[in-house]
Amino acid sequence: MMDVSASDRRTQRLPSHRAARLCPDEVEQRIIRAYVQLLFAHDNLDGSRIVTVAQFGALEVRLSELPSVQKHPDVPQFWLEMYSHASLSTLDSYGCFDFDEAELAAAVEFVFEAERRRPPLN
């Protein structure tokens, strides 16, 4: 079982400068860590739980879990969300059922897409 320390429960920020290259293994580890952290996250009013995976300036990638009462076999229980703090809106999302190898690879690419969408620094 993974040990989730206090530092791991904080917002997971990846490098915010363009020169830094993201490592797919690190992104994968952050997604897995966020998945585990959902167990310890407080429920929102609707019963969902949300953990930040990464943040790129005003763009935040979040992992959320739907409330158990809303579970449906055709709807993924877990969602990666690309959220813009600038526009206070969700820009994109990706649903996952169980984070198998294919879903995890697509989730890593989703985080890379958020990094690419980050507005340039002026």
Q: Band of the pLDDT at 4, cuts 50, 70, 90?
A: very low
Inside any domain, residue 95: yes
Burial class from Cβ neighbours inside 10 Å (0-12, 13-18, 19+) for residue 83 reads buried
Inside any domain, residue 58: yes
29-39 average pLDDT score: 96
User: How many Å apart are CA 11 and CA 60, to the nearest integer?
Assistant: 10
For the chain, what is the domain count? 1
Inside any domain, residue 17: no
Query: Which domain covers residue 60, as residue numbers?
Result: 22-117
Give whole-number Cα distances, 105 to 39, 42, 96, 118, in Å. Answer: 22, 27, 11, 21
pLDDT tens digits, one per residue of 85-100: 999 999 999 999 989 9
Confidence (pTM): 0.77
User: How many Å apart are CA 43 and CA 80, to the nearest integer?
Assistant: 17
